[in-house]
Amino acid sequence: MPPQEKSTTAQDNARNIVDGRAIAGQLLCELAGKVAELKKRGLQPGLAFVRVGEDPASKVYVGRKEKACKDLGIFSETHVLPETVLEGRLIELIGALNADPRLHGILVQAPLPKSISEARVYSSVLPHKDVDGFHPVNAGKLMLGDPSGFQPCTPAGIMELFARSGVQTAGAEVVILGRGNIVGKPMAAMLCQKGKNANATVTLCHSATRDVAAHCRRADILIAAMGVAHFVKADMVKPGATVIDVGVNRVEGKITGDVDFDAVQKVAGKITPNPGGVGPMTIAMLMSNTVRAAETWS
Ligand code: GUN
C-alpha cells in the first residue's frame, strides 16, 4: 500500500502535528539567555506597542505580546489611541517613540482605522526600530535577500517552524493562499530566496486566481492565509503535504482557522493546529527581532 493510502489512527494523527507552542517555547528559552547577557551589560531591550481603537482581537494580540515581553524581561509600554485619532497625531507619537532611547522596537498593531494610511504610518517608524518588518526599507531588504533587515514575524515564524520540524522547502512546490502584506507577500519572498532553508517554487493564490483547488492539490506545502474559515478541505490537499494554517476567523464567537482541521489532518503529512501553531511563533519572532534590535543598535 503506498504511504499516502495507509489508514490513520488517532496516534498517527497526533504525530503529524507541528506543535508551534512547543517550538516557540524553545525559541523563547534561547532568547532568555540573550536577554540575560544584555542585562549583564546594563542593557534591557525595550518595545513599544501602539493600539488604535478597541478592536477585540487587537486587544487580545497586544495583551499576549505584552505578556511575552514581561516573561522574557523585555521592557514594554503600550499606547492606546482612540479610533477617531488623526493620522498626524499617530505619526507624532511614533516620532516620540523613535526618539526614546529606552525603546529598541515599535509595533503598531494592524488593522488601523480606514481613515489612516497604513503605508504612511509604517513608513514613519525608524527602520532600525521596525521589529514588525513593515517599513519599505525592510520590505525591500527582504525582496533583495539582504539579511540585515527585520522580517515580518508571522512568515518568519513559519520559516522557523519548517527549519525546526524537518520540513524540506528546497525544491518543494509551495502554494500560498492570500497576498496580504503581513503574511502572503513576505512569505513568498522568503521561500523563493536562494538559500538552504528556502529554495522553494512558490505559487501565490489570491481572489482572482482561477481554480484555487487545483493549485492546492499540487502543493507539497500549503500555507493558508486568506482569512476564510475552513476554506481548505481534505480533497484540496495532496496526501502527505505539509499544511500551515495562518487563519484567524471568528465564527459564532469561536476562533476558527482557514483549514478544515479535523478532515485535513487525516490527509496531511504535517499540519499546524490552530490555535497553538503559527500564533505562538509570531510572538516568539517578535521577541527575537526586539532582542536583535537591542543587540544591534544600542
Ligand atoms: N496584525 C496581525 N498581525 C500583525 C503583525 O504581525 N504585526 C502588527 N503590527 N499587526 C498585526
For residue range 133-142, what is the model confidence (pLDDT) as tens digits? 999 999 999 9
Distance CA(294)–CA(279), nearest Å, equals 23
Collapse the DSSP code of 202 into the 3-class scheme (helix H, G, I; strand E, B; otherwise coil) and give the result.
strand
For residue range 176-232, what is the model confidence (pLDDT) as tens digits? 999 999 999 999 999 999 998 999 999 999 999 999 999 999 999 999 999 999 999
Q: Is the CB of 108 under 6 A from ligand 1?
A: yes
Higher pLDDT, 252 or 44: 44
Residue nearest to atom 2 of ligand 1 (CA): 110
65 as an active site residue: the answer is: yes
- Is 9 a residue whose pLDDT tops 80? no
pTM of the model: 0.95
- For the chain, domains (ranges, CATH) are 42-126 (3.40.50.10860), 152-279 (3.40.50.720)
CB-side neighbour CA atoms (13 Å) of 15:
8
CA of 5 to the centre of ligand 1 (A): 39
Read off the pLDDT band of 255 (50, 70, 90): confident
CA of 273 to the centre of ligand 1 (A): 20
Q: Is the CB of 107 under 6 A from ligand 1?
A: yes
Which amino acid is residue 115, in one-letter code? S
C-alpha angle 189-190-192 in degrees, rounded to nearest 5: 70
pLDDT of residue 15: 78
Point out which residues pair with 175 in neighbouring strands.
203, 222
Q: Is the CB of 153 under 6 A from ligand 1?
A: yes
Tracing cell 521577541 back to the chain, one arrives at: 287
% of the chain residues with pLDDT over 90: 92
User: To 10 degrees, the CA torsion angle through 255, 261, 262, 268?
Assistant: -170
Q: Of 10-24, 155-169, 224-238, which gets the smallest average pLDDT?
A: 10-24
Distance CA(69)–CA(143), nearest Å, equals 29
Read off the pLDDT band of 8 (50, 70, 90): very low
